[in-house]
Amino acid sequence: MSDALAPGAPPPDPGTPAQLTAQLDGAVLAVPGVDALYSAAPLVATVVASVIATTVEAVTGKPQSTSSVSVSVSEKEGGLKIAVKIGVAAPFAATDVSRRVHDAVTDQLDQNGNPVVTEIAVTVARID
């Protein structure tokens, strides 16, 4: 669990969206039973990002990163929407692992100042 903030103290700065995503990736991968983390970004967004990166590279001659985000963090009316897609290792129960992933995401967000979250979606993409 997270440490309590001193009264009147500003909440910690979660950093950039990329830093928050990296922190959430680490928290999810640390959950027992998670053996893979897949991109939770919608397929269309991933394809569009790849096309844009390829076009920019062709025009500028500079290589562009097309790495996909594992944990998807997006703004939704009223707060953040978090999406996670995992692989579950045998002999762990997918429902138990999913609950622990949800709790790990919540704990990490608490450490980052407890931003308003409207949805945390955990999808099991594969079970060994």
User: Three-state DSSP class for 50?
Assistant: helix
Tokens of 46: 């991933």
In 10 A of CB 119, how many CB atoms? Answer: 12
Alpha carbon distances (Å) from 6 to 3, 11, 71, 119: 9, 9, 30, 27
- Number of other residues whose CB lies within 10 A of the CB of residue 70: 22
Q: What is the pLDDT at residue 75? A: 83
- pLDDT tens string, the chain, 128 residues long: the values are 334 434 444 444 456 677 888 899 999 999 999 999 998 876 555 555 556 666 767 777 766 554 555 898 888 888 889 999 999 999 999 999 999 999 999 999 999 887 888 999 999 999 98
